[in-house]
Chain A
């Protein structure tokens, strides 16, 4: 499917037209209007933060576009999400806030990926991730005009136990590799992956497509090694208070009870940079403004980022992101 579209796009000169039917662009405008109305009604403030930043995300799995001045000198990075500056606003006392903006992730391209895409991100002071999941469900039901769409919540551990008979907290890396081969990933023995990489492989290849069949499926409580910016809850086996939402096998949203501890956040950034060094990836500067805001005091809050292009794809029942984008990169 990707193949056909990209081949068509490579015919230079024939690509001035949008790849999305105009009806889909009207649906996009209606979706944005609906969302803004929703957040106005529940008293969440719309904000704008910079797309271009002097610091960048450190997560080794996210690649920021580096931007240069006209004279060729390095200038900064396009953001991969507005998370850091939005948390600075929260620390400054903004109260509940949301943002609808373009974000950029280098190297991501496929049926459900486009390096430049639209994110809806919002934060709720004094809420935890369980409360936020319910609001995410309300937003998606509204966007899809399906007010009775059922909701299910399954922990990450239950998901792997039920579907693959594995406990991600105790399974060995070798067992994960064997499980991948058993599950039919033919060249699994040739892949070199970390423990979390194997979990990601099983999730994307064996589990995702079954998730959220006509149901809003929330996966929650991730392994601490996949906490990203979530708070870790010190249960007998610690878990990250992080959730993901799936609908029709598509990953739609990622949320956290937000980590507010500046020292722990710095330690995670440094661990990310060490991992980047191992993988010979660029080492962007850590966002010191963000760490200073955490040190000053981030209110207890939960936050979530939701991919609006994918939400629109589900709303109008299409399977390729290009059909909801006016001009994908090949004709941008």
Chain B
């Protein structure tokens, strides 16, 4: 089992706290003029996404979390789990619903995703920042309105619902920013 001393703490370091893997967001070393030094850290729970503050006595050690990111290709969903493949080794892996989370509403077959592995098992899936998806359902816009003001909801092929300009029609392709869930542009086939 690997351990980190507080002197190795820095942003991005993955550590175990109370049985969960955490990412160090920010580390601050504090010490009174004379006396005990502390590391005040902000850490993000990689399972829940919640950020909390923790204080350590400087010099203490913390168990390292075996967490790393890898780029994998999304293959398909078998109704229960999402299947991914390492494009270099062709090794396949499955991720469950909590790990896939919100990514499920953006990804379609063959998309490249950032998969975070904890002890070799997918912990989180990040979709590509931008995806191009087909509109499967939206109200027909007013004829001749190309201003886009106001907008309307559109259901995409993956099930996601985004706000699009009035001129966007069913069966057209749209580009969406998955980080904000916002429509970016219309895409010609």
Please give the residue numbers on chain A whose beta carbons come within 8 Å of chain B beta carbons, in ascending order. Answer: 1-4, 6-7, 59, 61, 107-111, 113, 185-188, 191-194, 196-197, 199-201, 203-205, 208, 226, 228, 244, 251, 253-254
| Residue pair A109, B7 in contact (C-beta under 8 Å) | yes
B47 CB-CB contact with A under 8 Å: no
Q: Given the complex, which residues of B lie within 8 Å of A201, measured CB to CB?
A: 36, 38, 55
| Residue pair A193, B36 in contact (C-beta under 8 Å) | yes
Q: Kindly report which residue of chain A lies nearest to residue B10, judged by CB atoms.
A: A6
Q: Given the complex, which residues of A lie within 8 Å of B118, measured CB to CB?
A: none
Would you give the shortest CB distance from A84 to chain B, in whole angstroms? 16
Q: Given the complex, which residues of A lie within 8 Å of B27, measured CB to CB?
A: 2-3, 110
Please give the residue numbers on chain B whose beta carbons come within 8 Å of chain A beta carbons, in ascending order. Answer: 7, 10-12, 26-38, 40, 52-59
Q: Kindly report which residue of chain A lies nearest to residue B54, judged by CB atoms.
A: A187
**Contacts known (A6-B10, A205-B55); A61 close to B29, Cβ less than 8 A:** no
| Residue pair B57, A193 in contact (C-beta under 8 Å) | yes
Q: Given the complex, which residues of B lie within 8 Å of A61, measured CB to CB?
A: 31, 34-37
**Contacts known (A6-B10, A109-B29, A110-B29); A188 close to B55, Cβ less than 8 A:** yes
Q: How far is the CA of A81 from the CA of B34 in the complex (A)?
A: 12
Q: How far is the CA of A7 from the CA of B28 in the complex (A)?
A: 15
Q: Kindly report which residue of chain A lies nearest to residue B35, judged by CB atoms.
A: A200
| Residue pair A200, B55 in contact (C-beta under 8 Å) | no
Q: How far is the CA of A203 from the CA of B30 in the complex (A)?
A: 10
- With A194-B36, A205-B55, A251-B33 known, 10 other A-B pairs at CB within 8 A are A2-B10, A7-B11, A185-B55, A193-B36, A193-B57, A197-B35, A200-B38, A201-B55, A204-B30, A208-B32
**Contacts known (A108-B29, A204-B30); A187 close to B55, Cβ less than 8 A:** yes
**Contacts known (A3-B11, A205-B40); A107 close to B30, Cβ less than 8 A:** no
- Interface of A, secondary structure class, is mixed
Q: Kindly report which residue of chain B lies nearest to residue A184, judged by CB atoms.
A: B53
Q: How far is the CA of A226 from the CA of B12 in the complex (A)?
A: 36
Q: How far is the CA of A1 from the CA of B38 in the complex (A)?
A: 17
Q: Given the complex, which residues of A lie within 8 Å of B26, measured CB to CB?
A: 1-3
Q: How far is the CA of A192 from the CA of B56 in the complex (A)?
A: 10
29 contacts between A and B (CB under 8 A): A2-B27, A3-B10, A6-B11, A7-B12, A59-B34, A61-B34, A61-B36, A108-B29, A108-B31, A109-B29, A111-B29, A185-B55, A186-B52, A187-B54, A193-B57, A194-B36, A196-B36, A197-B36, A199-B35, A200-B32, A200-B36, A203-B32, A204-B31, A204-B32, A205-B38, A226-B34, A228-B34, A251-B32, A254-B33
Q: Given the complex, which residues of B lie within 8 Å of A253, measured CB to CB?
A: 33
Q: Kindly report which residue of chain A lies nearest to residue B39, judged by CB atoms.
A: A110
Q: How far is the CA of A205 from the CA of B54 in the complex (A)?
A: 11
Q: Given the complex, which residues of A lie within 8 Å of B32, measured CB to CB?
A: 200, 203-204, 208, 244, 251
Would you give the shortest CB distance from B29 to chain A, in whole angstroms? 3
Q: Given the complex, which residues of A lie within 8 Å of B10, measured CB to CB?
A: 2-3, 6-7
